Amino acid sequence: MTNFSPSRDFAIQLDSQDSLASYRDQFVVNEPDLIYLNGNSLGRMPKSVVERMQKAVEEEWGTDLIRGWNKGWWEAPSRIGEKIASLLGAAEGQVIVGDQTSINLFKLATAVLTLKPEKKRIITDTFNFPSDLYILQGIVKILSYSGGRVGGDGLDTDYRPTRPSPLYRDHEIIRIGAQDDDITPDLTALENAINEDTALVTLSHVTFKSGYLYDMAHITELAHRKGALVLWDLSHSAGALPIELDKCNVDFAIGCTYKYLNGGPGAPAFLYVNKSLQNDATSPIWGWWGQSNPFAFDLDYQPAPGVQRFLAGTAPMLSMLAMEEALTPLIDAGMDSLRAKSILMTDYASYLTDHLLAPLGFSLGSPRDSAKRGSHISIRHPDGYRINRAMIEEMNVIPDFRAPDNIRLGFAPLYLSFADIWEGFDRIRRVMEEKRYEKYPKQKLMVT
Ligand SMILES: Cc1ncc(COP(=O)(O)O)c(C=O)c1O
């Protein structure tokens, strides 16, 4: 690990040695004073997206109109899927873009349960993004009923069937908890929970709060040894670190494109289906974009070959094209050099947390070992929510807040400098020393 120093000059020295520094010029930076530490929630926009969108709107939508579908729109989900695949260690024909991460999880987790009808266990953890947990709960609920009323207030937590569907297996969702530090999942409990009755192991590769990075190869192998399939949520790792889906024999994966992939607000998500499973896995949403011959307008569904069958309906083309353009600088920079800078940044931020903020009541809420960490860290403080608000509203620093006490700082290596990080920490120090957070209510705004 580098011998860091808390001085601003040291940050400037790190910037002078940064081989990726020039990429910042490729991004729209309208407010030079803004310290943007939220590229892990919504990445900055590459400048070239503006021009690409102008062309998409004026020439393609405006002029081509419906002809656009035969001029590259129809193929966009698989064309863009291949570009993302190059960042995920996935060979051709396994990644496709469409819908949201939540919807893609629904499709793939349901596919797993139909591939493993004799097994009951679904294993995940309490570190997973809540939407992922809700989707799993919803799937189990659907499988427990074949139509009819969902009883009472419609919110019964007991998933027992009134009339079971053929797939009903009294599925059990097991959520692995945390180790004592609340930063690391309980890996022994995880290993013990995966047994011969396990259909699915589904986890976030990098967890959304602490930034813990799972050992993908190891967990996938553990699951396979017991006959289970794995589904990784790559939302916080795609574009942040090198991923080897094929090498790790991963079965399924999903992920967002608006975070480190810079695809724009609400940009469509991706999904990965390992080639070896593509003939047998089916989507629970039989839409026409996943039909083998959609323009034959057959009245019965025949799944398209390959990963295409996991599409459902018409792709949001403008978002797709913006996201496609946004991938260019990432692909150009390469994941290895991005990861090297990301590790240096998260190491540096951990050091600044210890040296500048620990005396002010903060603690590090993320792994100290960079091999076990993604590209964000959490800093924890009992008044985290109010501090976060003061940073946004008075200091022009944008992190985000994740309950109960995590201020989450994301480090996107393409456009963030070490001087930005130093400045961000110095402004947090000022918020604390000047007690600026004390005037904010504890009551939270809708989006934190
Ligand atoms: C890890 C993770 N999974 C899933 C989601 C949900 O994504 P979407 O809103 O595209 O369904 C998010 C959103 O932030 C996330 O962070």
pLDDT in tens, 46-97: 999 999 999 999 999 999 999 999 999 999 999 999 999 999 999 999 999 9
Residue 149: predicted pLDDT: 35
d(CA 124, CA 190): 8
Candidate from 38, 126, 205, 235 with most ligand 1 atoms within 8 A of CB, to mutate: 235
List the one residue out of 99, 20, 441, 433 whose CA is nearest residue 257: 99
- Amino acid (one-letter) located at 373: R
Task: Please check whether residue 214 is in contact with residue 243, taking contact to mean a CB–CB distance below 8 angstroms.
Answer: no
259 is annotated as an active-site residue: yes
129 is annotated as an active-site residue: yes
Is residue 20 over pLDDT 90? yes
d(CA 75, CA 67): 13
258 is annotated as an active-site residue: yes
Record: fold of 8-46+335-439: Aspartate Aminotransferase, domain 1 (3.90.1150)
Q: Which of 179-188, 260-269, 339-348 has the lowest mean pLDDT?
A: 179-188
Task: Indicate the average pLDDT of the chain.
Answer: 93
Query: Tokens 């860091």 map to which residue?
Result: 4
Is residue 41 over pLDDT 70? yes
* Token pair recorded at residue 93: 């024909």
Share of the chain above pLDDT 90, in %: 87
Is residue 146 over pLDDT 50? no
* pLDDT tens per residue, range 368-382: 999 999 999 999 999
Section 26-47 average pLDDT: 96
Residue 167: predicted pLDDT: 57
Section 12-22 average pLDDT: 98
d(CA 426, CA 410): 16
Section 162-174 average pLDDT: 67
Residue 154: predicted pLDDT: 40
The answer to whether the CB of 13 is under 6 A from ligand 1 is no
The answer to whether the CB of 237 is under 6 A from ligand 1 is no
d(CA 308, CA 313): 11
In the CATH scheme, what is the code of domain 72-330? Answer: 3.40.640.10
- Tell me the domain boundaries of the chain: 8-46+335-439, 72-330
272 is annotated as an active-site residue: no
3-state helix, strand, coil in the chain (%, to 5): 40, 15, 45
Task: Give the pLDDT band (50/70/90) at residue 163.
Answer: low
Q: Which atom of ligand 1 is nearest to the CA of 103?
A: 11
DSSP string, 30-87: S-TT-EE--TTTSPPPBTHHHHHHHHIIIIIIIIIGGGGGGGTTTTHHHHHHHHHHHH
The answer to whether the CB of 132 is under 6 A from ligand 1 is yes
Is residue 429 over pLDDT 50? yes
Task: Give the pLDDT band (50/70/90) at residue 190.
Answer: very high
Q: How far is the CA of 126 from the centre of ligand 1 (A)?
A: 15
